[in-house]
Every structure is written in C-alpha cells, then in structure tokens.
Amino acid sequence: MNGETKRPPQKWRKPVLFVAALLIAFLLGFVPTWFSAHQRAQELNAAQTSLRVRQMQCELASAAIDARRGEYEQARLAASSFFTAARDEMDRQQGSAFSSKQQDALRSLLAQRDELITLLARSDPASADRLSDLYVSFRDIIGSQPPR
C-alpha cells in the first residue's frame, strides 16, 4: 500500500444527508408560514379589541337615542349592556382595549351606572341628556387611539 488507508463505505451517510435535506426543506416552508400566521393572529386580536370598543360605543349611542325617543326600557337594557361590557373590558388582565389613563377616566363614567339605570327605570326624561353627555365623554376618552 502506498500509505493511504481506504475507508469502508459509510452506509448511513446518504440517509442522514437525505433526512437533513428534508429537515431544511421543511423549515424553509414552516418558518415563513408560522411568521405569517403569527402576524394574522396579532391582526385578529387588534380587530377584536377594536370591535369590543365600537360595540360599547354603539350600545351607549343606542341607549341615548332610545331615551330621546321615550323608549326607556330599551335604553335601560342598552345602557346596562354598555356598563357591563365596559366593566368586563377594564377587568381584563391582558389585552384590555383601554390604557390605564383611559381606565381611570372610565371609572368616573362607571360610577354613574346605578343612578342612570334608576332614571331609565323611572322613565325620567332627564336620562336622555345624561346618556348623551355620557356618550360624548366616552367618545372623548376612547378618542381615535388605536387598540393596544
């Protein structure tokens, strides 16, 4: 022999290279798909958060309109729905639609709940003005701030 030793053929080398190539191909397809799915999940969360706020705003507007029209029971139900949704949103640990500053401002609005519901239950015409003022205050609090 001329000083070189021949290596025996390695039967496992081809299957290992094949598996490695398959793994790389899988990852090349998986990573972009996962990234895209993650982005879509974030967009969905932002849309759902925005929707919750807009639904609250709609409930409050509906209550104000119903009270103006003298439909106090419907106004009471819509106002109650608004107050419940606002309280639930503020109680969320993570993913709340409201910043801490907005939550502080909303607490004063939520403090009016019992008095306003009582006015509506008594069919008091003053409730329409109170609901309108509440709507304007809520709109000012939420502003046009994008969801967090």
- Decide: 116 and 130 in contact? Cβ < 8 Å: yes
Q: Which pLDDT tens digit goes with each residue over 78-133?
A: 999 999 999 999 998 787 899 989 999 999 999 999 999 999 999 999 999 999 99
Q: Which pLDDT tens digit goes with each residue over 100-115?
A: 899 999 999 999 999 9
- Decide: 85 and 56 in contact? Cβ < 8 Å: yes
pTM equals: 0.74
**Distance separating alpha carbons of residues 72 and 39, to the nearest angstrom:** 44
User: All domains of the chain, ordered by start, with CATH?
Assistant: 39-142 (1.20.120)
**Distance separating alpha carbons of residues 100 and 98, to the nearest angstrom:** 6
Q: Which secondary-structure segment (H or E) carries 10? A: none
CA 35 from centroid of its chain's CA atoms: 20
**Distance separating alpha carbons of residues 70 and 62, to the nearest angstrom:** 12
In this prediction, residue 2 carries a pLDDT of 58
Q: Which pLDDT tens digit goes with each residue over 24-73?
A: 888 888 888 888 888 998 999 999 999 999 999 999 999 999 999 999 99
**Distance separating alpha carbons of residues 77 and 47, to the nearest angstrom:** 26
For residue 88, give every residue at least 6 positions away whose Cβ sits within 8 Å of its Cβ, in sequence order, or none: none
Q: For residue 146, is pLDDT > 50?
A: no
**Distance separating alpha carbons of residues 45 and 39, to the nearest angstrom:** 10
